[in-house]
A and B are shown apart, each in its own frame.
Chain A
């Protein structure tokens, strides 16, 4: 049981390049989330999904797109990377909504640098 797995772990991009971050969970969770973590800013929600085929914007969605074609996978895309997107990206998942007593489980993170 791997939990939440993120690939890649590290990546360096040049400004304007595109890339996709993959998040996979094997816990049959309905809800998945993408956060970015910046020094002194805590974690901020980029996009989230409440089920297969659904996505929604979080607090800082600009410059990112997401897709949830399969229940276990949640992809985060950067179409044209900018230096402001240099950050550590965390994926999380939860079985249901948090008000039901559930919690979010986090992946190990992807460290992205945009030059």
Chain B
């Protein structure tokens, strides 16, 4: 079965620190990649997505992610986090062309200390 691995369960950072959350997937074929964010008590919101083209994808709120096909990775980055970035972050992968199913990672909880 296809899988998505998020390396960190819980990350704690101080405001203004840089962030990188890892995401690896298990399939060598066509994939579409997503990062979703879930703020406390809220539903999932799309941060960014990669379908094709430039492997460096910019999303909302200053987040970006880089697709490295050779490493099966799609890591999420932000140069300087804010307290309001405290949330849980989920990497999700659509495996195969023409699919409509997402496989989610287990999530990384980010706590930003003021």
What residues make up the interface of A, taking CB atoms closer than 8 Å to B?
Answer: 4, 31, 35, 40-45, 48, 50, 58, 90, 92, 94, 96-99, 101, 103-104, 106-109
Contacts and interface: CB of A to CB of B under 8 A. Distances in A.
Contacts of B98: 97, 99
Interface of B: 4, 6, 9, 30, 32, 34, 36, 42-46, 49, 51, 90, 92, 94, 96-102, 104-107
Contacts, number: 61
A43 B104 contact: yes
Q: Is the interface of B mostly helix, strand, loop or mixed?
A: loop
20 contacts: A4-B43, A35-B104, A40-B107, A42-B90, A43-B44, A43-B102, A45-B102, A48-B101, A58-B101, A90-B44, A92-B44, A97-B100, A98-B32, A99-B94, A99-B97, A101-B51, A103-B34, A103-B49, A108-B42, A109-B43
Contacts of B4: 42
